[in-house]
């Protein structure tokens, strides 16, 4: 039985921007003079996870059924642009999403000529709940507040990983991996390559 846990709490980031908003040539409710804006947007994230797995050795391969629980929290402070009627402001807000994943990991060691290799893979089912559709409340200084919504996070999805690690020398290794997530109406695919050298 293996237990894993961890947390990541990056410090909040300040993202200042400066720009000029020029009104369109068509009739507009905003004044005709450009408005300078200097907003500062601050946000911070907190991530934590816990996992239980049970390793099984069988036929030269290792299998590990596992259950994973992860929590992601995003807190954004409010912001306000300086300028005329087109100046934009946003309210502070917090988004919390929890992910549960049930799956199976597997790996198998083999030899490719004189090189030691490891094949690895993962299949699982992931469920997300909480604030799966991020929203923000904004307002122009000359208008009422309005809400916008970001791309929703899939509540149920299949996850898959596959990889090959090659031990080139006692102090170096090379790896290739694929990561995929599949949900109704959405897909996410990624490929990675890495070279590690120890000195």
What whole-number distance in Å separates Cα of residue 109 and Cα of residue 117? 6
Lookup: tokens for 65: 């059924």
* Confidence band of 53 (pLDDT split at 50, 70, 90): very high
How many helices (H) and strands (E) the chain has is answered by 0, 16
Residue of 147, 68, 153 lying closest to 105 (CA atoms): 68
- The string of pLDDT tens digits covering residues 162-199 is 999 999 998 999 999 999 999 988 899 999 999 999 98
pLDDT at residue number 37: 54
Residue 7: CB atoms within 10 Å? 10
Lookup: tokens for 7: 């947390």
Residue 76: beta bridge partners? 43, 93
Under DSSP, the state recorded for 33 is: S
- The string of pLDDT tens digits covering residues 87-120 is 888 888 888 999 999 999 999 999 888 899 999 9
Q: How far is CA 152 from the centre of its chain?
A: 13
* Confidence band of 24 (pLDDT split at 50, 70, 90): very low
State yes or no: pLDDT of 32 exceeds 50.
no
pLDDT at residue number 77: 85
pLDDT at residue number 64: 95
Q: What is the pTM of this model?
A: 0.73
Strand 56-58 versus strand 61-76 pairing type: antiparallel
pLDDT at residue number 39: 60
- The string of pLDDT tens digits covering residues 120-158 is 999 999 999 999 988 888 888 878 888 888 888 899 999
């Amino acid at each position: 039985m293996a237990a894993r846990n961890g947390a990541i709490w990056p410090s909040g980031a300040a993202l200042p921007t400066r720009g000029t908003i020029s009104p369109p040539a068509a009739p507009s409710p905003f004044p005709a003079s450009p408005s300078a804006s200097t907003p500062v947007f601050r946000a911070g994230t907190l991530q934590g996870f816990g996992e239980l797995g049970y390793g099984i050795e069988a036929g030269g391969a290792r299998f590990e059924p596992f259950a994973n629980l992860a929590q992601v929290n995003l807190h954004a402070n409010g912001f306000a642009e300086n300028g005329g009627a087109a100046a934009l402001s946003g309210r502070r807000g917090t988004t919390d999403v929890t992910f549960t994943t049930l799956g199976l990991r597997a790996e198998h060691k083999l030899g490719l000529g004189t090189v030691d290799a490891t094949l690895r893979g993962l299949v699982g089912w992931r469920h997300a709940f909480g604030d799966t559709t991020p929203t923000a409340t904004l307002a122009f200084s000359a208008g009422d507040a309005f809400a916008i919504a970001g791309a929703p996070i899939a509540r149920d999805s299949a996850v898959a990983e596959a990889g090959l690690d090659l031990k080139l020398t006692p102090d170096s290794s090379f790896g290739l991996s694929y990561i995929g997530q599949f949900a109704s109406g959405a897909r996410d695919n990624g490929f990675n390559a890495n070279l590690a050298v120890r000195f």
